[in-house]
Structure formats: C-alpha cells, structure tokens
Amino acid sequence: MSTSTDTQPRRSLTMTTVQGVKWSTAATILTAIMQVGYTAVMARLLSPAAFGVVALANVVLRFGGYFAQMGMEQAIIQKQDLTKEDIRAAFTASVALGIVFGGLLILLAPLSIYVFHEPEVVPVAQVLAFSLLLTGLSATALSLLRRTMQFRTLALVEVSSYVVSYGGVGVTMALSGYGVWSLVAASVAQGLLVGLLAYLVTRHSVLPLLSWEHYRPLWHYGSRISLISFLEFIGSSLDTLIIGRVLGTAMLGIYNRAWMLVALPMYMLTTSVSKVIFPAFSQVQADQARMRNVYLSSVTLVAALILPTAAGMLVAAPELVYSLLGPKWDASIPLLRVMSFTSGLMLITMFGGIVSDARARLREKTIIILQYLLVLPVLFWLLHGWGLIGYAFALNIGALLYAGLFMRLLHHDLDISYGRLLSLYVPGIFNAAVVAMVFAGVRLGLAPLHLPPVVALIILLLVGALVLGTLILLVPLPGLRRELCAFLDRLHPQSHSGILGRLLARYVRFLNPSVYGPEAHFSAANPVLP
C-alpha cells in the first residue's frame, strides 16, 4: 500500500512524463514535417546515387559510432545515483573515444572500397567521421537533459538545429550544385549546432577525470549497451550492405528512400514516447508491477496508431511516392508497400527493448539480437532472387521472429502471459483493417478524377485522420478503451481547473459509463505511467 509520501513522487513523475511526451512529440512532429519537405526538395535536386553513397558512408560512420560512445549516454541516464565525478568521467570518455575512433575511421575508410566497391564512399565517410568528435562533445550534455527530463529544452535544440543545418546549409548547397556534399554538410552542421546548444544549456564540468573508480560503474553498464547497439546496427544495416554491394548505389538509393518514407511516420509516432519512457523506466526499474502496467498500456496505445498507419501507407504508396519523391522514384512503390509492415512491427517491438535496457536485462537482449542476426542473412540468401522485393520480404519475416523473441523475454521478466501479449495487437489490427478498406474505397472513387498525386494524398490523409480518430477516441475496442480510460484517469482530471479538467472527466466517463457515474472519483491507484 502506498503512503502519502510515496504517492506524491509517483504523481509528480507521471505528470513530468506526460509533459515530456508532449514536448518530445511536438519536436518529433515538427522535425518529421521538415524532413518530409527536405526530402521532397533534395530528391528533385539530387540523383538516387547520391543518397546511396551517403547511406553507405553512414554505415561506416555508425560502425565506429557505437564504439566511440561505449553506451555512456545511456549509462548516465540509467545510473540511479549520479555524481559530479560521474559526469566528468563520462565527458572525458566520450571525447577521448570520439577522437580515437573518428581518427581511425578517417584512416581506415579507404578499406571500405573492398566491401562496397564504391570509391565515392571514401571521402564522404572521412568527412562524416568528424561527426564522432562532435557527438563526443555533446553526448554528456544531451544525456543530462534527458535524465532530468528537460524535453522542452531538447525540443528547442533539435528543431532549431534541424532548420539551420538541413533547411539552410543542405538545401542552399544543393541548389548551388554541390551534389552529395550538400547531404554531408547538413549532417555535420546539425551535429555541431546540437552540441553547442546543449552545452550552453547544461554547462556541465569539462575538466578531465582519470580515476577508474568513477569509470567502472559507467563502463560496466555502458559497454554492454554499446555491444547491444552495435549488434542492432549490424542487423539494421545488413540490407544496406548487401544491396549496395550486389545491386549498386542507384538501387540502394531507391531502397533507402522507400525505407525513409515508411519509417518516418512510424518513427514520428514512437520516438517521442521512447525518448521519455527510458529515463522514466530507469527511475522505477526495480518495480516490476509498474513496469508491466506501463508496457502493456504503451504497446496497446502505440499499436492502435502504428498498425493502421502502416496499412494506410500500404494502400496509398503511389500517392506518397509521386508526391514526396517524384515520378523517377516509382520503383519505390512496391518496396514501400512491403516495408510498411516491417517498420511498424519493429517499432512496436522497440518497447520490449526499452524495458530490457531499463531493467538491465542486457544478457537476454544480446541473445535475442544474436539469434536475429543468425537468421536474417539466411532469409536474404533465400529470397535474393526476387531483387529488392525479396530483401523487403526477408525483413518482414525477420521482424516477426524478433517480435516473438521479445515476447518470450517479457513473458518471463514481467510475468505477462502470451495471450495477454498477443491481445495487445488486436485493437491495432482491427483499426488497420478498417483504415485499409476505407483508403481502398477512397482511391477507387478518386481514380476517375485524375487528381494530382499531392491532392489525392491530402484527401487520403484527411480521411485517414478522421477514420482513425473515430476508431481510437469514439468507438475503441474493449482493450483499447480500457487503456485509454486508465491513462486519462492517471492524468488526474480533478487536478486540472477550468475547461480542460471538465473535458477530461467527461471523456473518461464517456469511455466507461458503467464505472464512472456523474460524480465519478478518479483514483490514483495503479498508475499507468510511472
């Protein structure tokens, strides 16, 4: 039974988490909108090969990036008692590792020719390697902001740096004819701006610290996180590596842009929550019941959004490609349709990974990733004869395996039955089926009008928002209704004065009138958010 002193911190953390999600979501949506516009402009100014070269160079960069950080960012967030010496140790390690591995990438980049058979990748990778130093300089400041859940500040940093670097530097250089280097300059500029702005806000100590006593706990957790992140990187990059080597940069560019289109809205829907959930989980990592509640609620709510979004993208793939990329990218349409399922399922499974990180179940997570890495190359080999579509289908099968393995982990770690885990997807699957049928009907009705793709896409988006909003807010299935009601209850409608409080209370009563009468009391028991 919770005491009054225990209830208050829970309520405070709940509201802080909700506020964090709000600001993180706002930043993600703004960045995603800008990224769509940026992609639409750059896809018309640059060739598919330019995007393919940068995609391969980013594989090289990410290869060094996981070693350059050694999980120091997550270690600062996850550590329960953080001292000033811990902060100095993390900063010293991040900068030193950034210099070492950035320098190694510059020296070893020419070896990538033997992997990719693309000489153009070498100078691009060498310039992008400078980003590792920038990441080392900014990692500690960004981690401190996330640990203290200052997501409003993080939102301002992310949005302003994106506008200046991509909208300013990238587009201007592309218009001036710099080709692939406009993509490189935008990336480096953003890293520089993010680091500068984050440090100006936190002003943490930058004095070096060489005492191993303070490195040991950070290293113990961070090195394992870094290994897991590296294995995840291999899994997420296998398709890029193989397609770039076997089919060339032009085909890789088509594949990369299709993946971007399908992943961006999914990322937008989940990343804002995941950024906040990890520090929140870390603060209650020993409380299995609360962790279980927030996982079940999070996946139910997110799946109800993600799966119908994926279904809508599957049906509206031609309008998306022609509107955002242009007619020369029509080869991306079938890829986008197949990848929509992959991206949706992988992002929902991401919540299982966050639970594992917060509860330090790193050995179990490592085993899951290794199993996935053993199966994925076999799937690529079996389906490579189908070309790009074969690789996309291989990722779909791999995503199902990955989700199943995490279900087994959560079944044991959080004591959740398999039936309960599977039931989390039912509202999302139902919503997806309805959205797909509505989209198919609307497209059929619009076909005789021969509207421009962008107009048809806007109509589909408006219809999709209306249908999905109705399915989630007005006629949710019982499982989704229960989670919505519980989530809104934990916002404590009675604590909000004026119109907001009355609207929240009325909506909760609307969702569950058999429980909440006209004078309903909103309990704080069993909070959905930690």
Higher per-residue pLDDT: 263 or 271: 263
State the pLDDT at residue 523: 41
Q: Is residue 269 pLDDT above 70, yes or no?
A: no
Task: List Cα–Cα distances, 223 to 74, 215, 228, 230, in angstroms.
Answer: 10, 11, 9, 10
Phi, psi (deg, nearest 5) at residue 248: 95, 170
CB atoms inside a 10 Å sphere around CB 342: 25
Average pLDDT of span 137-148: 80
State the pLDDT at residue 458: 93
Average pLDDT of span 159-183: 89
State the pLDDT at residue 470: 92
Q: Is residue 311 pLDDT above 80, yes or no?
A: yes
CB atoms inside a 10 Å sphere around CB 409: 18
- Looking at mean pLDDT, say which of 108-112, 223-227, 390-394, 455-459 comes out highest: 455-459
Q: Are 480 and 301 in contact (CB under 8 A)?
A: yes
Q: What sign does the dihedral 230-352-264-138 (CA atoms) show?
A: negative
Q: Which long-range contacts (CB under 8 A, 24 or more apart) does 514-520 make?
A: 515/485
- pLDDT range class, residue 457, cuts 50, 70, 90: very high
Q: Determine the Cα–Cα distance for residues 346 and 395; give it in Å rounded to an integer.
A: 10
State the pLDDT at residue 22: 64
Q: Determine the Cα–Cα distance for residues 497 and 501; give it in Å rounded to an integer.
A: 5
pLDDT tens per residue across span 464-480 = 999 999 998 888 888 88
State the pLDDT at residue 525: 38
**Residue 286 burial by CB count (10 A; 0-12/13-18/19+): exposed, middle or buried?**
exposed
Q: Is residue 2 pLDDT above 50, yes or no?
A: no
Q: Per the structure block, which two tokens stand in for 503?
A: 């609207």
The percentage of the chain sitting over the pLDDT mark of 70, rounded to a whole number, equals 76
Average pLDDT of span 487-505: 63
State the pLDDT at residue 440: 94
- pLDDT range class, residue 152, cuts 50, 70, 90: confident
Largest CA distance in the chain: 72
- pLDDT range class, residue 521, cuts 50, 70, 90: very low
Q: What is the pTM of this model?
A: 0.64
The H or E element that residue 491 is part of is none
177: CB partners within 8 A, 6+ apart:
none
State the pLDDT at residue 79: 64
- pLDDT range class, residue 437, cuts 50, 70, 90: very high
Average pLDDT of span 83-107: 81
- pLDDT range class, residue 296, cuts 50, 70, 90: confident
Q: Per the structure block, which two tokens stand in for 235?
A: 């899994």
Higher per-residue pLDDT: 267 or 485: 485
Q: Is residue 265 pLDDT above 90, yes or no?
A: no
Higher per-residue pLDDT: 276 or 30: 30
Average pLDDT of span 365-383: 89
The least confident of 244-248, 261-265, 375-379, 518-522 is: 518-522
State the pLDDT at residue 456: 92
State the pLDDT at residue 132: 79
Q: What are the helix (H) ranges across 70-202?
A: 72-78, 84-108, 113-116, 121-128, 130-147, 151-162, 171-175, 180-202
pLDDT tens per residue across span 107-124 = 887 877 766 677 888 888
Average pLDDT of span 433-446: 94
Q: Is residue 529 pLDDT above 60, yes or no?
A: no
Q: Is residue 217 pLDDT above 60, yes or no?
A: yes
**Residue 105: half-sphere exposure toward Cβ, Cα within 13 Å:** 31
pLDDT tens per residue across span 315-361 = 998 998 888 887 878 888 888 888 888 877 887 888 888 788 777 78
Phi-psi region of 177 (alpha: psi -120 to 50; beta: other; left: phi over 0): left
Higher per-residue pLDDT: 383 or 31: 383
DSSP 164: I
The least confident of 73-77, 105-109, 155-159 is: 73-77
CB atoms inside a 10 Å sphere around CB 530: 21
pLDDT tens per residue across span 393-421 = 888 898 899 999 999 998 888 888 999 99
- pLDDT range class, residue 214, cuts 50, 70, 90: low
The least confident of 24-28, 77-81, 329-333, 481-485 is: 77-81
Mean pLDDT of the chain: 78
State the pLDDT at residue 493: 54
Q: Where are the domains of the chain?
A: 12-246, 265-475, 477-530
Q: Determine the Cα–Cα distance for residues 409 and 415; give it in Å rounded to an integer.
A: 9
State the pLDDT at residue 432: 94
Q: Is residue 150 pLDDT above 90, yes or no?
A: no
Q: Are 282 and 355 in contact (CB under 8 A)?
A: no
Closest to 77 (Cα-Cα) out of 229, 267, 285, 289:
285
User: What's the N-to-C CA distance of the chain in angstroms?
Assistant: 16
Polymer length in residues for the chain: 530
